[in-house]
Amino acid sequence: MSPATRCKAETLLTEAALRRTPPRIAVLQVLLNAREPLNQDQITARLDRDAPNKVTVYRTLQALCAAGIVHRAFVQKRTWYFESAERCTEHQCHPHFTCTGCGRTSCLAEMRLPAVARSYKGYTIQRQRVQLEGLCPKCRECK
């Protein structure tokens, strides 16, 4: 882990008024470095020896989500995948793409999405989450 990432993690925690504890800094660093959403086991695996108890990871993710630093990106096979919220705007999370061929899910973080209406039939729409489905570049070739 780079010292820059660590610094970023600590800053985010401070801004969210969360205590800067080793487990939180560690988990947040993993998510800041990840290119794809990770589930709890994957986060634990990346921490290896420094991994805290699984309940601590669980509660850490809860706290980070409540603070808005981390998002629950999607659920697959009954497990949640988490990611840093840094590549999402206030009104729109970046889309996730699930391949019907290989089952893999990836972030399309740079994809521009058409904006949705801010209100509809009395509903105030504050945030939009988009899930895409189809064939990934690899599976498209094989087909």
Give the binding site for a second copy (CB under 8 A).
Answer: 75, 78, 95, 97, 100, 108, 111, 113-117, 120-137, 140
Residue with Cβ nearer DNA (20 or 127): 20
Site for DNA in 9-68 (CB under 7 A): 18-24, 39-41, 52-56, 58-60, 62-63
Picking from 72, 81, 127, 70, the residue whose alpha carbon sits closest to that of residue 104 is 81
For residue 31, CA distances in Å to 11, 50, 60 come to: 15, 15, 12
Q: Which does 107 bind (CB under 5 to 8 A by kind): a second copy, Zn ion, DNA, none?
A: Zn ion
Query: Under the criterion CB under 5 A, does residue 101 sit at the interface with Zn ion?
Result: yes
Q: Which does 11 bind (CB under 5 to 8 A by kind): DNA, a second copy, Zn ion, none?
A: none
DSSP E strands, 4-78 = 70-76
Kindly give, in sequence order, each residue whose CB lies less than 8 Å from that of residue 42, ignoring residues fewer than 6 positions away. Answer: none
Phi, psi for 62 (deg, rounded to 5): -60, -50
Query: Under the criterion CB under 5 A, does residue 23 sit at the interface with Zn ion?
Result: no
Binding site for DNA (CB under 7 A): 18-24, 39-41, 52-56, 58-60, 62-63, 77-80
